[in-house]
Amino acid sequence: MQFVGRLKHKAYRDFLCRNLFAKHEVERQSNLYIYRNPELPLRVRLEAKNRIDSLPENSHPTKIKNRCVATGRGRGVFRAFQLARFAFRLKARANVLPGVRKASW
């Protein structure tokens, strides 16, 4: 696992979920294929389903959430900046984000 600095608590949990997902992704996809293939015998398919269910909870892809990298906020996060709306505002006003300026037209 990479060094990630001082993440907020929920962002750290999301970080762990992402790593677990990456660790078990191949196993999950291959078992999904077996489970969803009607040409294979039923026993094999059920065994594949059991394997998927026995994977750790936090390795599920739906547990991953794009959190703010600065504050750990789960909502209002812009994908382009990986920042929640207030953190984005602070950084934008500090001229740290390239190409971002106050809108007026």
Partner 1 sequence: MIKREILEEIKQVSAKIFQTNYKSNNSRTGHKFLQRKLQGPRLASYYPSKVPVSKMREIIGLPIPNSQHTLRMEILEEKVRKGKGPVKRGSK
Footprint on this chain of partner 1 (rule: CB under 8 A): 2-7, 11, 15, 18-19, 21-23, 25-26, 29-30, 32-39, 61, 64, 66, 69, 82
Q: Which amino acid, residue 62?
A: T
In the complex, minimum distance from the CB of residue 101 to partner 1, in angstroms, rounded to a whole number? 23
In the complex, minimum distance from the CB of residue 56 to partner 1, in angstroms, rounded to a whole number? 14
- Residue 68: burial class (beta carbons within 10 Å; 0-12, 13-18, 19+): buried
Closer CB to partner 1, residue 27 or residue 93?
27
Give me 8's structure tokens: 């907020």
Give the Cβ contact number of residue 16 at 10 Å. 14
